[in-house]
Amino acid sequence: MSTDGNRTILLLLSLAMLQVASVALADEAATTQSDAEVLRLTDAIVSRYESFGAFSMDFVQTSYWSLADSAFVTKGSLHVKRPNHIAVSYADGGRIVILGDSLRAYTPATKQFYVAGIDTASSVIDPARLLRAYRPEASDPLRAAGDDPRFGPETARGLLDLSLRPHDRLSEPSRLVVRVDPRTNRVRSILAISSGNDWTRYDIVAERVVPTHPSGTFELLRPEGAEAVTAMPFGGF
Q: Please give the model's pTM, rounded to 2 decimal places.
A: 0.77
Which of these ranges, 108-112, 121-125, 228-232, has the smallest mean pLDDT? 121-125
Position 234 pLDDT exceeds 60: no
Least Cα distance to 76 among 21, 17, 12 occurs for 12
Q: In sequence order, which ranges of 82-234 are alpha helices (DSSP H)?
A: 127-131
Q: Are 18 and 187 in contact (CB under 8 A)?
A: yes
The pLDDT score that the predictor gives to residue 133 is 66
Identify any residues that bridge with 194 across adjacent strands, giving them in sequence order: none
Instruction: For residue 54, give Cα distances in angstroms to 87, 114, 210, 222.
Output: 12, 25, 6, 25
CA distance 136 to 212: 35
CA dist 133 and 119 (Å) reads 15
Domain ranges of the chain: 3-230
In 3D, which of 178, 196, 193, 211 has the Cα closest to residue 41?
Answer: 178
Write out the E strands in 82-185.
Answer: 85-90, 95-99, 102-107, 112-117, 134-136, 142-144, 160-166, 175-181
The fold for domain 3-230 equals outer membrane lipoprotein receptor (LolB), chain A (2.50.20)
Q: By mean pLDDT, which of 25-39, 50-64, 194-208 is the weakest? A: 25-39
Q: Which of 63-67, 81-85, 94-98, 215-219 has the lowest mean pLDDT?
A: 81-85
Query: What whole-number distance in Å separates Cα of residue 182 and Cα of residue 222?
Result: 42
How large is the average pLDDT for residues 8-31?
42
Query: Rounded to a whole number, what is the distance in angstroms from the first to the last CA of the chain?
Result: 15
